[in-house]
Amino acid sequence: MKKLIVFLIIGLAFAAWTAPTVSYAQQAPSTKGMELFKIIDDDNLKDKVTNVKNLPDVGESFPKFYAGLTKILLGVATILVVVGFVVAGVMYVSAQGDEETLKKAKNVALYTILGVLIIAAAYGITIGIAKLKIL
């Protein structure tokens, strides 16, 4: 029974993963000649110097990238914290008086709380450094 459930989960995951690929495999509408394979639009590249001048400054784009990365990592950490608390709760409820399992559940909850504190401290330090003006 366990193998059947695992097989069904893997099969459904594979089907969900490949479904968009099948839908994108439809034939594209034909256009004039080779314009389907045209990668660069020559009309927009007339003044190459202007295009280079319009590129974003590295000093402006790196903080935006770092802020986005921090938000993503904070979201992943939040999901892991929720999973940690759920696991601790399930272990605590399913212990049924077993002292060893209760101790493990309390340790999981304690380590999850410590993880939250470390995440909060790291986020606070990151924000503090980002807002620090040296000169």
pLDDT tens readout for residues 30-42: 555 555 555 555 5
Tokens of 125: 């330090």
- DSSP states along 2-27: HHHHHHHHHHHHHHHHHHHHHHHTSP
| Within a domain: 62 | no
Indicate the helix (H) or strand (E) that contains 112. Answer: helix 99-131
For residue 40, tell me if it sits in a domain.
Answer: no
Is 101 inside a domain boundary?
yes
Q: What's the structural domain count of the chain? A: 1
For the whole model, what pTM was predicted?
Answer: 0.52
Q: How far is CA 52 from CA 27, 33, 58, 60, 78, in A?
A: 36, 31, 13, 16, 40
Within a domain: residue 10?
no
The Cα–Cα gap between 109 and 92 comes to 10
**124 in any annotated domain:** yes
The torsion region of residue 96 among left (phi > 0), alpha (psi -120 to 50) and beta comes to left
pLDDT tens for residues 7-58? Answer: 778 877 766 666 655 555 555 555 555 555 555 555 555 555 565 666 666 5
Print the domain residue range for 111.
78-135
Q: How many Cα atoms occupy the beta-carbon half-sphere of 11 within 13 Å?
A: 6
